[in-house]
């Protein structure tokens, strides 16, 4: 997709097909894109880099992996008869537990609301800083970074790995490859095994593993998740971010020129030339770009793109090229920020020699922030008022009403009481809206109805009135244990 800038002579190419990369040295001292392109074979092996962005990525990697691996072992006291695992997706009983939150199948609207909130926050983040989620906290990015770290520790950095590709297979090389893949498989196994812990009690499953008493179902899912992690983080890598994930394809609709994304300040970097030649030109008072075309920004990119060619939807905004370029500029004693988090509007202003501006706070971001806060407040309110029980009433259909010998009319109902807590609750049933006597089949009138923990109770209820008329009737279940009141409405039919 091409976008014409305000400068008629400038053209921004926003490219999503990044499987091509520029031939090394093809752009010596010119601002035009290189014509020669070569295909990459296999997964990209980016070069290691140090700097502020890399440190932030390491910190987020440690934090997210710690949360993932530790969370299943956290305990949360929910009382008697309830699981004490803090986060648990209990398929057997149809429950989702997350610390103090308990979601039943009837409460899936809360999960839907949470997913909508996450989507709005993701769009807001994109309006502020592009694909910053992808570059720092996406699971694919986190595990790929971990696999790359293992690869570097065992096989060396990018240069050593490239040299090794052209070397015949030796015992030492085979040993390194074997150790690397063994480490990858171990990480994948830990990842797959940990994911299973979210669906069953983690300590119990660990003891089952130790005793060799694990179900075939658990082993099958562990194998599936292990293979998925091994394949996606070890081999697919950037292909997941480009072709499997739908987010890059959405960038065409939500790309925002005011967002602070990773960009190349070409008005400062071009024309590219060696540091020595630039020094000579500047000594004569001629213009020279700061970019020395070292290619380090491309070598460190986990996606394999050249950010100097303009905005690219495949860019995950990880900022590693920022660290790489800053390190070169520092060594050359030139200002940092040749590649930086910058809005495209500011790139255009730079071409015109205008001062930079920032519009992070604008109608779009304000609206998204307001929607996010509103959704979050709504979800908190729904959680705070979520009932610990439920009542449902089903009117008998055949017959709808029975006329007794004394002329009174009787309607029959099935009333179901549901207890969503881990302790037994006692309910008293009553009605309003019609002058009728309530009777519970098989129970003494006025006797509290006990509903067991995490259980339900179905009742046959009849309403009889001597002055029949069609009316709305409200069934009320007063909770003597927790003090809450459940209610639902139905119809009383006179004929």
Domain end among 306, 333, 355: 355
* Dihedral sign, Cα of residue 291, residue 292, residue 293, residue 294: negative
- Residue 58 vs residues 53, 113, 361: alpha-carbon distances, Å: 9, 31, 29
Co-location of 409 and 322 in the same domain: no
In a domain, residue 449? The reply is: yes
Domain count, the chain: 2
CATH classification at residue 458: 2.60.40.10
Kindly state whether residue 370 falls inside one of the protein's structural domains. no
Q: 197 pLDDT band (50/70/90 cuts)?
A: very high
**Residue 333 shares a structural domain with residue 397:** no
In a domain, 360, yes or no: no
Residue 324 belongs to a domain:
yes
Given a cut of 80, whether residue 482 has pLDDT beyond it is: no
List pLDDT tens digits, range 211-248: 888 888 889 999 999 999 999 999 999 889 888 888 88
Please give the Cα distance from 40 to 25 (Å, whole number). Answer: 16
pLDDT single digits (tens) 373-407: 999 999 999 988 888 888 999 999 888 899 998 88
Question: pLDDT band at residue 310, thresholds of 50, 70 and 90?
Answer: confident
Please report how many Cα atoms fall inside a 13 Å half-sphere around the Cα of residue 376, on the Cβ side: 10
Pick the last residue of a domain from 302, 335, 355: 355
Among the three residues 306, 334, 355, which one is the final residue of a domain in this structure? Answer: 355
User: b/e string for 61-79 if b means 16 or more Cβ within 10 A?
Assistant: beebbeebeebbeeeeebe
Same domain, 350 and 255: yes
What is the C-alpha to C-alpha distance for residues 45 and 148, in angstroms, rounded to an integer? 8
Looking at per-residue pLDDT, the higher value among 29 and 338 belongs to 338
Q: Domain range spanning residue 316? A: 2-44+251-355
pLDDT-above-90 percentage for the chain: 57
Q: Are residues 404 and 470 in the same domain?
A: yes
Asked if residue 40 has pLDDT above 80, the reply is no
Domain match, 350 and 259 both: yes
In a domain, 155, yes or no: no
Q: Count the neighbouring beta carbons within 10 Å of the beta carbon of residue 230.
A: 20
């Amino acid at each position: 997709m091409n976008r014409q800038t305000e400068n008629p002579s400038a053209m921004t190419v926003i490219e999503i097909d990044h499987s091509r990369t520029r031939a090394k040295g093809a752009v010596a001292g010119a601002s035009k894109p290189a014509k020669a392109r070569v295909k990459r074979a296999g997964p990209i092996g980016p070069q290691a880099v140090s700097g502020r962005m890399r440190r932030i990525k390491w910190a987020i990697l440690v934090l997210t992996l710690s949360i993932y691996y530790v969370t299943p072992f956290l305990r949360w006291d929910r009382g008697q008869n309830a699981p004490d695992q803090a986060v648990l997706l209990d398929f057997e009983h149809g429950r989702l537990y997350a610390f103090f939150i308990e979601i039943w199948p009837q409460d899936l609207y809360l999960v839907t609301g949470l997913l909508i909130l996450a989507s709005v926050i993701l769009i807001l983040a994109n309006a502020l800083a592009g694909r910053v989620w992808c570059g720092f906290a996406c699971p694919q990015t986190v595990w790929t970074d971990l696999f790359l770290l293992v690869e570097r520790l065992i096989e060396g950095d990018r240069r050593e790995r490239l040299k090794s590709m052209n070397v015949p297979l030796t015992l030492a090389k085979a040993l390194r490859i074997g150790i690397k893949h063994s480490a990858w498989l171990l990480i994948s196994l830990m990842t797959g095994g940990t994911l299973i812990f979210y669906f069953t009690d983690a300590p119990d499953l660990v003891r089952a593993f130790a005793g060799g008493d694990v179900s075939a179902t658990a082993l099958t899912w562990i194998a599936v998740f292990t293979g998925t992690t091994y394949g996606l983080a070890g081999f697919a890598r950037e292909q997941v971010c480009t072709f499997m994930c739908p987010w890059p394809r959405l960038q065409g609709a939500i790309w925002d020129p005011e967002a602070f994304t990773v960009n190349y300040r070409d008005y400062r970097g071009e024309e590219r030339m060696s540091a020595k030649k630039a020094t000579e030109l500047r000594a004569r008072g001629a213009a020279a770009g700061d970019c020395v075309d070292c290619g380090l920004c491309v070598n460190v990119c986990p996606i394999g793109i050249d950010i100097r060619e303009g905005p690219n939807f495949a860019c995950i905004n990880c900022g590693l090229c920022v660290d790489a370029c800053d390190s070169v500029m520092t060594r050359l004693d030139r200002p940092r920020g040749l590649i930086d988090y910058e809005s495209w509007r500011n790139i255009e202003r730079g071409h015109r020699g205008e001062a930079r501006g920032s519009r992070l706070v604008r109608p779009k971001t304000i609206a998204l922030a307001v929607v996010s806060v509103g959704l979050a407040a709504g979800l908190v309110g729904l959680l705070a008022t979520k009932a610990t029980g439920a009542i449902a009433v089903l009117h008998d259909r055949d017959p709808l009403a029975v006329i007794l010998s004394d002329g009174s009319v009787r309607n029959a109902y099935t009333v179901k009481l549901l207890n969503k807590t881990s302790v037994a609750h006692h309910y008293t049933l009553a009605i309003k809206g019609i002058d009728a006597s309530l009777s519970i089949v098989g129970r003494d009138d006025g006797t509290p109805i006990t509903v067991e923990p995490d259980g339900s109770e179905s009742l046959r209820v009849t309403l009889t009135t001597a002055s029949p008329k069609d009316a709305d009737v409200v069934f009320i279940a007063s909770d003597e244990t927790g003090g809450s009141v459940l209610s639902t409405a139905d119809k009383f039919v006179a004929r």
